[in-house]
Structure 1
Amino acid sequence: MDRRWIPGNHFELLENGEEFFPRVFACIANAKREVIVETFILFEDKVGLQLQEALIAAARRGAQVDITIDDWGSPDLSGQFLGALREAGVRVHSFNPGPRPFGLRPHLLRRMHRKIVVVDREVAFVGGINYSADHLADFGPEAKQDYAVEIRGPLVAEIHRFCHAALAEGLRHQRGKRQWWRGRKQWRAAPEQLPLAGTADAIFVVRDNGLHMDDIERHYRIAIRAARKRIIIANAYFFPGYRFIKELKRAARRGVDVRLILQGQPDMAFVKTAAGMLYHRLLRYGIRIYEYCERPLHGKVAVMDDEWCTVGSSNLDPMSLVFNLEANVVIRDRAFTQILAANLQKLMCDACNEITAQDLGELKGWPLVQSFLAYHLARRYPRWASWLPRHVPRLLPAAPTTQGKPPLAAAFAGAKEKA
């Protein structure tokens, strides 16, 4: 794992679609040479149409425009929507498309879950926000609470280099030019200098099924191990592995104020159940748990002490830590960390309920069995998951949906929202 900190960056915290979408669309509107977008979900709603319009305008001005979507997360784009992009010269790539027998995607457990934008190798965006109207407050009670960052400075060159390598690798697999015995090439290369834009040190961290299988989790665990005062983790899908839970336990026992902000109004019913199975154990360790109850929490952010924080696409559950392709930025900067920490503190004070042992009641009977199984599943699932095949990811031109959803698709529609 490359732990090289890149200095001289500037970060802006963007909360929800109200702050994120205008900034992204404005940067694309000013693009002169190149736009690269990766997203898990792109819906053909008012947000998706705004993105389409911005990309088409950039392509018609002569910029090279590439957008990569996940075939599972964005399955229902029409021929008219995709055709307008292609006609303008936008290259639309679909991650691991293919037939869906009985409405099921064969590679469901290996998804392109990253949310990245790079414009002209000058500005980048990384976070957890997809291109869909449910990231806007006017969507209603189901509108998501989420975060992203706008990045300027030398780290942008690193993100740009990664996106180009991901495009090249996916297209090589499409053409069948990669033999099975060849290991995945490193995407990192000698840094290309960009002007310093601020004072923040940062690392761009990815999770894949090759050389970077546990990089994001490892950075979390290193920071937890180093924490001396506080840890605040806000994460939509919290069911980490045993080593992660063990580091939180050790931090709490050495006097660190450890707080988790989790979903109180989840977008999928099993989310609260899965996290709740660990509540008794976490509270016993001295970890404080807050459930965000204003609307579904979709964030994937954390703060450790006064200078370390992370924002990205990675949840803390088996899908993100073991299966999905993810991207986070890890930031070392006192001023930005204070901004994110203040935001999370306000969230805990204004929109969360703190969970206590009295709220949970006595753990006995079937709940006790569930808690026991959940705890030991957390210990074992990373090893079990490593036994599953790691298919070769492919990028193909995105194809429109030619008919309605397959018969069983409705049963799995909620899985798309877990982004």
Structure 2
Amino acid sequence: MNIAVEHIATDQPPDDSKARDLDYGWQSGNRLQLLENGEAYFPAVFDAMRKAQREILLETFILFEDKVGHELQGILIEAAQRGVKVVVSLDGFGCGELSPAFLRELAEAGVMVQMFDPASKTLGIRTNWFRRLHRKIVVVDASVAFIGGINFSADHLGDFGPEAKQDYAVQIIGPAVADLHHFALAQSGRQVRTRRGWRRRQQRPSPWTDEHGDGLVRLIYRDNVQHRDDIEEAYIHALSQARQRVVIANAYFFPGYRLLREIRNAARRGVKVQLIMQGQPDVLLAKLAARMLYDYLLKDGVVIHEYCQRPLHGKVALVDDEWSTVGSSNLDPLSLALNLEANVLIRDRAFNQQLYQSLEALARDHCQTMPAKRKPRLWLWRLTVGFLVFHVMRHFPALASWLPAHKPRLKPIESPAHDV
């Protein structure tokens, strides 16, 4: 297996275009389906891939060589062998344990495999910790798209056991798929971006006041160039407009002060605000960090649930009875200040209600609720420490730029027998 010489920098626009400085507007007329956990997600994605006729684009943070990974590998190989263009973009940290044989089998079948910021271990330790490709996007034939927080690994299935993750994604059919398709192409390197005739649609105004909201979807994303704060700003704007209810389910919750303030202010206005956090975390630090913020939120009426059945991996939220978001972005410094992320904003009453019912059942049946009147033990100290830690992490990319340059790159992995 050879690593191609050409490196494509993913933190800088390509020389021949502004492809990474993309703004996507609201697209109407989309059909949406909430997919909860691997039991719903994998069959839907795999069925779409098996039916692919022209193209499969896939980005994921984690791909493991387990039963899910091997099934995905077989589907992609079969698709490539029948003439489908297959492009797979993987993160070098999340997929760092994939064997050369697994990748070689994909490349030899004609699958274009690209690794974001691969790095060999130093003294047995991986060093490529920051600025991860954390997106989870699949687009098939530019006609159906999937986006959310679910990786291609068996720990998203209930039969994995107590450590199986609780998570969400959405299937999209309709005009918004064109934006996801274009975005996936634009992020996949010069050798993949072939749609020269694509023209950006004129942006529509925000439909926040539109009473219909039937299948409205907007793609937003976070990069380290022009769109550093887009996902955070979308949350802040939605919270500022909330009038009835807010539900946020997020695995890694440690946002900055502006977002915390909007959550608190919504509760102060009489909005019913519920947060669903990790009670049985896969990373203990995530639970400890989130709990540093509890007192600040509880004292103003925010209801906090800790999901205790298994690890929570979701990154979803809803506001009132129309607005929702599903995607890859956590509400912590890594996602909000370092990683490459993508979410969709959704304005659809039926989808909002479906997500609300799922989260309400989660909170009611499998969570413990934090007491509203906790003893305020050093809450001001904890909030101050949290504020400082967040903003140190938030400015980490700028601080790191003082050190020898580390520019994450997307490297094609090619088989000697194929010119992919």
Q: Same fold (TM over 0.5)?
A: yes
Separation in structure 1 between the aligned mates of residue 382 and residue 244 of structure 2, nearest angstrom: 32
Change in 2 beyond 3 A, CA 1:27/1:215: same
Residue 128 in structure 1 maps to residue 143 in structure 2: no
Tell me whether 7-16 or 105-114 shows the greater mean CA deviation.
105-114
Find the counterpart in structure 2 of residue 222 from structure 1: 237
Answer yes or no: is 1:39 the counterpart of 2:60. Answer: yes
| 8 Å Cα contact 2:31-2:174 kept in structure 1 | yes
Distance (Å, rounded) in 2 between the aligned partners of 1:168 and 1:148? 25
TM-superposed CA distance for 1:276, in Å, is: 0.5
For residues 310-389 of structure 1, what are the structure 2 equivalents within 5 Å? 310-358=325-373, 360-364=374-378, 369-378=381-390, 381-383=393-395, 385-389=397-401
Aligned-pair identity (%): 52
What is the alpha-carbon distance in structure 2 between the residues aligned to residue 118 and residue 382 of structure 1?
Answer: 31
Instruction: Say if 1:171 and 1:394, in contact at 8 Å, map to a contact too.
Output: no
The answer to whether the aligner puts 1:95 opposite 2:109 as a matched pair is no
CA 286–381 in structure 1, closer or farther in 2 if over 3 Å, else same: farther
Q: Match of 1:167, SS?
A: coil
Instruction: Check 1:80–1:3 CA distance in 2 against 1; reply closer, same or farther (3 A cut).
Output: closer
Displacement of 1:381 after TM fit? 4.5
- Following TM superposition, by how much is the alpha carbon of 1:199 offset from its aligned partner in structure 2, in angstroms? 3.3
**1:363 partner amino acid:** R
1:16 aligned to which of 23, 37, 52: 37
Equivalent residue, structure 2, for 1:257:
272
Residue 63 of structure 1 pairs with residue 78 of structure 2: no
Per the alignment, residue 184 of structure 1 pairs with none
1:124-161 Cα shifts (integer Å, max 9, x gaps):
00000001110000000000000000110011110110
- Residue 12 of structure 1 deviates from its aligned partner by 0.4
Structure 1 counterpart of 2:118, one-letter code: P
TM-superposed CA distance for 1:53, in Å, is 0.6
For structure 1, which segment, 163-172 or 151-160, has the greater mean C-alpha deviation from structure 2 after superposition? 163-172
Alignment partner, residue 161 of structure 2: 140
Give the gaps of 5 or more residues in structure 1.
173-187, 193-197, 401-419
Match of 1:302, as an amino acid? A
Residue in 2 aligned with 1:285? 300
Q: Deviations over 1:314-346 (max 9, x none)?
A: 000000000000010100011111110111111
Shift of 1:395: 1.3
| Superposition deviation, residue 375 in structure 1 | 3.7
Q: Following the alignment from structure 1 to structure 2, what is the Cα–Cα distance between the partners of residues 304 and 108?
A: 33
Could you list the per-position Cα deviations for residues 55-101 of structure 1 after superposition, in whole angstroms to 9, with x for gaps in the alignment?
01110110000101101001111222112111110011100113332
Whether contact under 8 Å (1:208, 1:324) holds in the other structure is yes
Aligned equivalents of 2:258, 2:393: Cα separation in 1: 11
Q: Displacement, 1:233?
A: 0.2
Deviation at 1:170, TM superposition (A): 9.0
Aligned to 1:81: 102
RMSD of the TM alignment (CA)? Answer: 2.3
What residue in structure 2 maps to residue 299 of structure 1? 314
* Structure 2 residue 51 is matched with structure 1 residue 30: yes
Q: State the alpha-carbon separation in 2 of the partners of residues 127 and 167 from structure 1.
A: 19
Distance 1:79 1:107 in 2: 19
Q: Is the 8 A contact 1:113 1:326 kept in 2?
A: yes
How far is 1:396 from its partner? 1.1
User: Contact 1:170–1:393 at 8 Å: present in 2 too?
Assistant: no
Alignment partners' CA distance in 2, 1:381 and 1:36: 32
Residues in 2 aligned to 1:221 and 1:262: alpha-carbon distance in whole angstroms: 19
Partner letter of residue 190 of structure 1? R
Aligned residue number for residue 232 of structure 1: 247
Give the paired residue count: 378
| 1:278/1:350 CA distance change after superposition, 3 Å | same
Tell me by how many angstroms 1:106 deviates: 4.2
One-letter code aligned to 1:262: M
The 8 Å contact of residues 243 and 379 in structure 1, kept in 2 or not, is answered as no
**How has the CA–CA distance of structure 1 residues 384 and 66 changed in structure 2, closer, same or farther, with 3 Å as cutoff?**
closer
Aligned pair in 2 of structure 1 residues 386, 47: CA closer, same or farther (>3 Å)? same
SS of the equivalent of 1:118 reads strand
Indicate if the aligned counterparts of 2:185 and 2:192 stay in contact, CA closer than 8 A. Answer: no
Q: CA deviation at 1:361?
A: 3.5
